[in-house]
């Protein structure tokens, strides 16, 4: 425009800045050393390969690093390799694997897996995780089939628990994974332990507990000798002529009996020169004798009918044949005692409160003896759980490195109920593994037997 000077505008752009990518350099990790003693080879291999991935080593670097990490017996393997093999990571790994994890060790891991049990000094969680590790070592090919592996681990976990009630609880929960089964077991223990620590209510007269320990053979022999000596002295005593008034003379409509089937307290007695053992039970108001013992006495002609109803502590009715009067010798005492003949298992009979009150006998629980006219008669402790034998129902041949499910038959007399199958020592010596398992003896019993030998094994019935 006229009158205005022209102005030139100079626009200066900033120079472009070159951006450089910053690379984060990770610090290399050093692998632990391996001597073949302090750590298992498979565990170390997992550790080493994780370190190698972090450090981004190639196969040559891995070979050099693992050679430098070997110590002691593991290091001696290097002298067996050529110079070329020392630079081959897969060759070094194969040599170490053959030395510290041969295929034969799988059989040893299987045996260890089958024998693993939950010990008292470890938690359920520790037991379950140790079992998982053993399972992967014993059955490496099953890792690919995770569902099958979990079933194997769950089954073994339940069978290895040291508490029968805990086994049943976890079994009935039908867990799909081992971790879930462990959680159920932890929950059960957390609930039960506080219950056991709670103060127990006062006991009624028919619920007095009897403490017991395992049978001591030496103590038993000594007690037998004392019983024989006391019995010879009893023979010279004059039999009492006074008629003892029966506590059962009046009709009893219902009597509750405590049948203890585990640790119990017993007394040695004699009935007509026959040795018997009676369970001492202050929770029972009456005394009883078993069917089997009564038949040995051959006193069926003296049996009197009885209309009373006997029930166990859980409410089940006991089968009763009748009642009779027996001559019972215990220590220096010979008495006539009225007893009920009933179907009881685990002992010859039960000495109830009527026996102790009628004959003025004191029970010293702490001293584990009976006090009769100032004289102490020792009692003995015994675990009365029954051990019976079973055998295979038919002749079978188990192929090498195989497992079979075989039907079994009862060999001894049985008390029907839940039992645990355990193998005899000779079975293990034959290279066979028999799975410990809970069975119901009222139903057909099956055995899971594994042959770890390289040849088939033939089993015959006896």
> 411 and 339 in one domain?
no
What residues make up the domain containing 352? 255-381
User: In angstroms, rounded to a whole number, what is the distance separating the alpha carbons of residues 335 and 438?
Assistant: 44
Place of tokens 């006090």: 371
Residue 72 lies in a domain: no
Confidence of residue 173 (pLDDT cuts 50, 70, 90): confident
Position 407 scores a pLDDT of: 86
CATH of the domain at 372: 2.40.70.10
> 363 and 284 in one domain?
yes
| Domain end (from 146, 166, 190) | 190
Residue 36 lies in a domain: no
> 283 and 369 in one domain?
yes
Residues with Cβ within 8 Å of residue 351, at least 6 apart in sequence:
267, 278, 279, 280, 281, 287
Tally of structural domains, the chain = 3
Position 316 scores a pLDDT of: 66
Residue 29 lies in a domain: no
Position 387 scores a pLDDT of: 62
| 453 vs 10: which has the higher pLDDT | 453
Three-class secondary structure of residue 153 per DSSP:
helix
User: In angstroms, rounded to a whole number, what is the distance separating the alpha carbons of residues 287 and 244?
Assistant: 15
What are the structure tokens assigned to 316, written together?
């089940």
Residue 152 has pLDDT above 60, yes or no: yes
Residue 179 lies in a domain: yes
| 178 vs 435: which has the higher pLDDT | 178
Confidence of residue 50 (pLDDT cuts 50, 70, 90): very high
Report the length, in residues, of the chain: 462
Position 264 scores a pLDDT of: 72
Residue 18 lies in a domain: no
Question: pLDDT digits over 329-378, tens only?
Answer: 887 788 888 888 888 876 788 888 888 888 888 888 777 888 887 788 88
Query: How confident is the prediction for the chain on average, in pLDDT?
Result: 76
What whole-number percentage of the chain has pLDDT above 70? Answer: 71
> 261 and 144 in one domain?
no
User: In angstroms, rounded to a whole number, what is the distance separating the alpha carbons of residues 25 and 52?
Assistant: 16
> 353 and 266 in one domain?
yes
Position 458 scores a pLDDT of: 85
> 350 and 276 in one domain?
yes
Question: pLDDT digits over 77-133, tens only?
Answer: 888 888 888 889 988 888 888 788 766 666 777 888 888 899 888 898 999 988 888
pTM of the model: 0.33
Residue 23 has pLDDT above 80, yes or no: no
Position 9 scores a pLDDT of: 56
Residue 402 has pLDDT above 80, yes or no: yes
Residue 240 lies in a domain: no
What are the structure tokens assigned to 328, written together?
């019972």
What are the structure tokens assigned to 280, written together?
């001492």
> 395 and 354 in one domain?
no
> 318 and 415 in one domain?
no
Burial classification of residue 374, based on how many CB atoms lie within 10 Å of its CB (0-12 exposed, 13-18 middle, 19 or more buried): exposed
> 373 and 263 in one domain?
yes
What whole-number percentage of the chain has pLDDT above 90? Answer: 3
| Domain end (from 137, 165, 190) | 190
Residue 331 lies in a domain: yes
Q: Which of 356, 334, 369, 128 is nearest to 242 (CA)?
A: 334
| Domain end (from 158, 173, 190) | 190
CATH of the domain at 134: 1.10.1200
> 375 and 264 in one domain?
yes
> 186 and 147 in one domain?
yes
Residue 261 lies in a domain: yes
């Amino acid at each position: 425009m006229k009158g205005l000077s022209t102005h030139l505008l100079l626009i200066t752009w900033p120079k472009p800045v070159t951006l450089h990518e910053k690379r984060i350099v990770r610090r290399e990790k050093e692998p632990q050393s391996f001597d073949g003693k302090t750590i298992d080879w498979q565990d170390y291999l997992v550790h080493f390969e994780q370190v190698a991935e972090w450090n981004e080593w190639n196969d040559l670097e891995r070979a050099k690093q693992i050679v430098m990490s070997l110590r002691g017996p593991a290091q001696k393997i290097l002298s067996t390799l050529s110079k070329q093999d020392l630079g081959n990571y897969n060759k070094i790994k194969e040599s170490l694997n053959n030395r510290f994890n041969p295929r034969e060790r799988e059989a040893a891991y299987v045996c260890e897996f089958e024998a693993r049990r939950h010990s008292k000094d470890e938690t359920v969680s520790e037991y379950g995780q140790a079992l998982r590790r053993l399972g992967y070592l014993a059955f490496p090919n099953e890792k690919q089939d995770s569902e099958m592996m979990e079933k194997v681990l769950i089954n073994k976990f339940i069978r290895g628990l040291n508490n029968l009630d805990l086994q049943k609880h976890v079994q009935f929960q039908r867990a799909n994974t081992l971790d879930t089964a462990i959680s159920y077991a932890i929950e059960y223990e957390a609930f039960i332990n506080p219950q056991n620590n709670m103060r127990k209510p006062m006991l009624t007269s028919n619920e007095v507990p009897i403490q017991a320990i395992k049978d001591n053979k030496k103590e038993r022999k000594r007690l037998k000798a004392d019983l024989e000596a006391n019995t010879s002295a009893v023979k010279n005593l004059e039999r009492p002529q006074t008629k003892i008034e029966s506590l059962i003379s009046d009709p009893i409509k219902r009597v509750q009996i405590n049948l203890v089937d585990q640790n119990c307290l017993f007394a040695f007695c004699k009935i007509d020169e026959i040795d018997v053992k009676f369970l001492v039970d202050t929770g029972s108001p009456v005394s009883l004798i078993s069917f089997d013992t009564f038949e040995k006495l051959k006193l069926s002609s003296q049996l009197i009918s009885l209309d009373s109803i006997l029930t166990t502590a859980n409410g089940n009715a006991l089968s009763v044949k009748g009642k009779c009067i027996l001559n019972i010798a215990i220590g220096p005492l010979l008495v006539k005692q009225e007893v009920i003949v009933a179907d009881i298992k685990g002992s010859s009979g039960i000495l109830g409160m009527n026996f102790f009150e009628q004959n003025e006998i004191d029970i010293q629980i702490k001293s584990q003896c009976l006090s009769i006219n100032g004289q102490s008669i020792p009692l003995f402790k015994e675990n009365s759980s029954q051990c019976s034998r079973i055998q295979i129902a038919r002749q079978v041949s188990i192929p090498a490195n195989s497992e079979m499910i075989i039907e079994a038959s009862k060999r001894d007399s049985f008390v029907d109920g839940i039992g645990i199958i355990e193998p005899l020592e000779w079975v293990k010596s034959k290279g066979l593994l028999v799975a410990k398992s809970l069975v119901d003896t009222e139903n057909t019993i099956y055995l899971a037997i594994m042959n770890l030998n390289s040849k088939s094994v033939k089993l015959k019935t006896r």
